[in-house]
Amino acid sequence: MKILKFGQSTLKDTSSIAKVLDIIVQNPESIVVVSPLFKVSNRLEQIGKLAMVGNNSYKPILQEIEDEHFAIAKHFVDIKHQAKVIAGLKVMLNDLEEILYGVYLLWELSPRTKDHISTYGVKLSAYLMAECLKSKGVEANYFDIQKIIITNDVYGNAEVDKDTSLSNIKEQFGKIKGISVVTGSIGSTYKGESSNFGKSGSSFTSALFANALNAKSIEIYTDRDGILNTDPTLVHNAFSLKEISYAEVMEMSNFGNSFVYPPAIQPAIIKNIPITIRILKVPGEFVKRYEISIESISDTTESILERIRQRLIDQVNFGILDITTDREHGHIEERLEQTIKLLIGRYFPESDDVTKEFLTTYLIQKSLGLGNIEMLMGDNQLEEIVINDAREPVWVYHKEFGWLRTNVR
């Protein structure tokens, strides 16, 4: 089970949506979390404000939103099913129109009503994407998860009741097969009223599903270049970071980086989403690349960990007999783990249990065996692992893809 999250920047037009549909089709067992179509959220906020001041120019903007959804349906949905799909979209749009007309008559837009209006963007998008997938012959179902994600009533920035929501997700989606397209960033209060949990809500929805369903990974798709090392408006040669740890994401966010909002991925941090391996075709390179995505550690932390590793050499001594007889039974790992945990607690006293567990595992991997090469050795699709030079990356021969260059050195 994978969680695929698509931001609004990937849902701009028929060309970008075609790419999204192709990605989803390649992942037949997945939860797909979608945002509204491109700039629909902004326009929903705009028409709410216009209606609130008695300005009926909200109507042509609402018509634009309708036309865009209908155009996508006509482009991707089989002609035999277009009428049904357009009717489904029209029901939601009519409900939205009635709410806006009420705002227009009363000259009032409460935070609760504003949240309710905002939910229609993602409902329209998720329903439309599910129907487009069906026309490609894929088993896909649309789910409005408002009644599953439970929040408080702080409208516009609602706080999710994680325990209740995780339990609901497990109950509703634990046995579902195929592709489920779900609404991101919205839920309902304990009273059943619509709520929106604000910034990076779709990413938070993705992390909740990953936690509840023990997903293999979360893949977040966007048209941006990734997380840059600095502000590109200030530094012309800013570059995308290849790997970054959760802790470093949080630190960068504190200094203004907005690509990932740390609280939105917190449920995934708790479950320690595992390593993901991808075969990539890099533009301009003759061979494909075999990449192992590993949670990275900052230079400062690496330096402290190296100091701990030197302490281990002094405190834990293994002879040849220990290595040849004990390693098979995990005795060495047990002895190392006990000592490492004590040292981690001493050097990182403020770290939480999840971080301490990760650092312990990281040090054991660094201290025993062949480090990252052991991950390559665990892939039964690899027939050969070749180390030509200490300065060059390791090469592997893959049963399906042939010779590949790795990111392991």
Separation of alpha carbons 183 and 314, rounded Å = 54
Unique residue bearing structure tokens 């997903």: 215
Copy the structure tokens of residue 188. Answer: 């309902």
Residue 371 covered by a domain: yes
Higher pLDDT, 49 or 204: 49
- Regarding whether 269 and 163 lie in a shared domain, the answer is yes
- Do 183 and 96 lie in one domain? The reply is yes
Residue 179 and residue 303 in one domain: no
Task: Read off the pLDDT of residues 88-100 as tens digits, 9 standing for 90 and up.
Answer: 999 999 999 999 9
Position 303 in a domain: yes
| Residue 70 in tokens | 């209908």
How many Å apart are CA 308 and CA 301, to the nearest integer? 11
Residue 68 has pLDDT above 90, yes or no: yes
Closest CA to 160 of 168, 152, 172, 148: 152
pLDDT tens track for 358-378: 777 777 666 665 566 766 766
Total structural domains in the chain? 2
**254 lies in some domain:** no
- Secondary structure (3-state) at 157: coil
Task: Say yes or no: 327 and 267 in one domain.
Answer: no
Q: How far apart are CA 373 and CA 323, in angstroms?
A: 19
User: Mean pLDDT, the chain, as a whole number?
Assistant: 78
Least confident segment among 116-125, 219-228, 374-383? 219-228
For residues 255-267, average pLDDT: 47
Answer yes or no: are the C-beta atoms of 76 and 21 closer than 8 Å. Answer: yes
* Sign of CA pseudo-dihedral 54, 60, 61, 62: positive
- Residue 326 binned pLDDT confidence (cut-offs 50, 70, 90): very low
Instruction: Tell me how many helices (H) and strands (E) the chain has.
Output: 14, 13
Q: What is the pLDDT of residue 227?
A: 55
Q: Is the pLDDT of residue 66 over 70?
A: yes
pLDDT digits (tens, 9 = 90+) for 186-238: 999 999 999 998 766 787 888 889 888 988 887 877 755 555 555 555 556 66
Residue % of the chain over a pLDDT of 70: 68
Give the helix ranges, DSSP H, for 174-225: 201-213
In 3-state terms the chain splits into helix, strand, coil percentages (rounded to 5) of 50, 15, 35
What's the confidence (pLDDT) of residue 269?
46
> How far is C-alpha 113 from the geometric centre of its chain's CA atoms?
29
DSSP 199: T
Check whether 73 has a pLDDT greater than 90.
Answer: yes
Mean pLDDT of 97-118: 95
pLDDT in tens, 287-314: 667 766 555 555 556 667 777 777 776 6
**Other CB atoms closer than 10 Å to residue 224's CB: what's the count?**
12
Give the C-alpha separation, 314 to 103, whole Å. 73
Angstrom distance (rounded) from CA 318 to CA 321? 8
**What is the average per-residue pLDDT within 117-135?**
96
- pLDDT of 345 reads 80
Predicted confidence (pLDDT) at residue 264 exceeds the cutoff of 70? no
- 355/264 same-domain check: no
- Containing domain of residue 396, as a range? 299-406
**371 and 265 inside one domain:** no
- Residue 343: count of CB within 10 angstroms of its CB: 20
Provide the CATH number for the domain around residue 67: 3.40.1160.10
Same domain, 193 and 320: no
Cα separation, 394 vs 371, whole angstroms: 13
| Same-domain check for residues 37 and 102 | yes
| Nearest one of 304, 299, 294 to 351, comparing CA atoms | 304
Strand 150-151, strand 140-143: pairing: unpaired
Q: Is 330 left (phi over 0), alpha (psi -120 to 50) or beta?
A: left
Q: How many CB atoms lie within 10 A of CB 408?
A: 20
Question: Cα–Cα distance between 196 and 39 in angstroms, integer?
Answer: 17
Q: How confident is the model at residue 47 (pLDDT cuts 50, 70, 90)?
A: very high
Q: Return the pLDDT at 276.
A: 39
In the predicted model, is pLDDT for residue 148 greater than 90?
yes
What confidence score (pLDDT) does residue 327 get? Answer: 45
Residues 131 and 84 in one domain: yes
Among 158-162, 176-180, 220-224, 335-339, name the one with the lowest average pLDDT.
220-224
In a domain, 373, yes or no: yes
Contact 307, 255 (CB under 8 A): no
Quick one: pLDDT at residue 282?
47
> Rounded to an integer, what distance in angstroms lies between the CA atom of residue 185 and that of residue 123?
11
Residues 57 and 204 in one domain: yes
Q: Other CB atoms closer than 10 Å to residue 190's CB: what's the count?
A: 12
Is residue 173, in this structure, part of any structural domain at all?
yes
207 and 331, same domain (yes or no): no
Q: How confident is the model at residue 254 (pLDDT cuts 50, 70, 90)?
A: very low
Residues 333 and 263 in one domain: no
What span, in angstroms and rounded, lies between the C-alpha atoms of 315 and 360? 16
The answer to whether residue 90 is domain-embedded is: yes
Q: Judge whether 268 lies within some domain.
A: yes
